[in-house]
Structure 1
Amino acid sequence: MAADSLDLQRLKEMTGDDPLLAAEVLILFCDQAIEWRACLDSAAVPPGWIEVCHSIKGAAVGLGALRLGEACSIAEKLGRTYGPDAAGAESCLDRVRDLLVVSTTEMVALRVTLSADGRFPQTKPDRSM
């Protein structure tokens, strides 16, 4: 299983290449994502969304969900620069919501693989060098 929105190398680095630890932190992220999602779904532009994006960003980047982290960073910067009612906030939050679903779906699938196989899935070698 290749995760399209997860950087497996980052996850390996953050968990000391321990697949069982990786599975555990993925569970924790997905559990927390339920609360984040509930907050973000409370309104088109919910109160406290800037702080929620900040929290998601830190956790996502740490686990290798870099696209989600970047979307949160953009939303957070918009909110901190122009205020919580900034034009464009709703579309930024829609992007965060969408990527939160994509990332947690991939994390659940990866967690199942890690728990079942006890090892990380094979990744394609980086040929960009």
Structure 2
Amino acid sequence: MTTAPHILIVDDEPNIVMSLEFLMRKNGYQVSIARNGTEALEAVDRTGFDVVLLDIMMPDVDGYHVCRHLRQRPDRAATRVVFLSAKSKEADIQKGYEAGADLYLSKPFSTRQLMEKVKELLEPNPFPAGEGL
């Protein structure tokens, strides 16, 4: 039996955390929560996650820093990072991808779209490197 994918939700806004946690659990995922960047850094150092849903603007350590920290760990290379941010300027989005994000969704976002994207990110690659069409 395989274990459910483990998702880390990182946001300092309690209502967003609650709704994302409900959504992810309802879809069968294990969920952990970090309420700020410092908790997120500790969580990714302690546990391997399949997906990290990451806010950018937090009071202590921002999401860009958390993402770069995660990308510097070879043992976390498979972790997918999705930025969920109110910062929707092209430069902010670009900075998110440069920090190592797999996906960047601007708030407010569609929960249905988020679930579709999370499921896509968790799918094994149907074409191993060098193979395919």
TM-score under structure 2 normalisation? 0.29
More helix by share: 1
Structure (1 or 2) with the larger CA radius of gyration: 1
TM-score (normalizing by structure 1): 0.30
Using CA pairs below 8 Å that are at least 6 residues apart, which structure has the higher relative contact order?
1
